[in-house]
Amino acid sequence: MDLDIDYFIVRWRGYHFPWPNEVFEKDFLSLSEHQSGSLWTGKDFLDGLMNKAALITIAKEPNFCGGKVKANQVLGKVNRFLFDNKLLI
């Protein structure tokens, strides 16, 4: 499984903005509002994928994130919200 950090960047008029915390919280930590009625979060879904993966790679891609500083900001948020601060970065 390959996780591309630039997924968590918003591009607007030539600018690159890391997702605010509220987007991570809503999209990954809040229960799904899907009409199926199942009670799962985006993080539950991602955890399921990661549990089945033989290898997980993370592509930092600073050129697509607006530079190294923003790529590191996003990686920190991914570590916090998706990996429960388990990445050694």
Output the pTM of the full model: 0.86
Q: What is the pLDDT of residue 35?
A: 64
Q: What is the pLDDT of residues 13-71, one digit of tens each?
A: 999 999 999 999 999 999 877 666 668 899 999 999 999 999 999 999 899 999 999 99
Q: What is the pLDDT of residue 34?
A: 67
Cβ atoms of residues 60 and 45 within 8 Å? no
Q: What single-letter amino acid sits at 30?
A: S
Cβ atoms of residues 39 and 31 within 8 Å? yes
- pLDDT, greater one: 79 or 35: 79
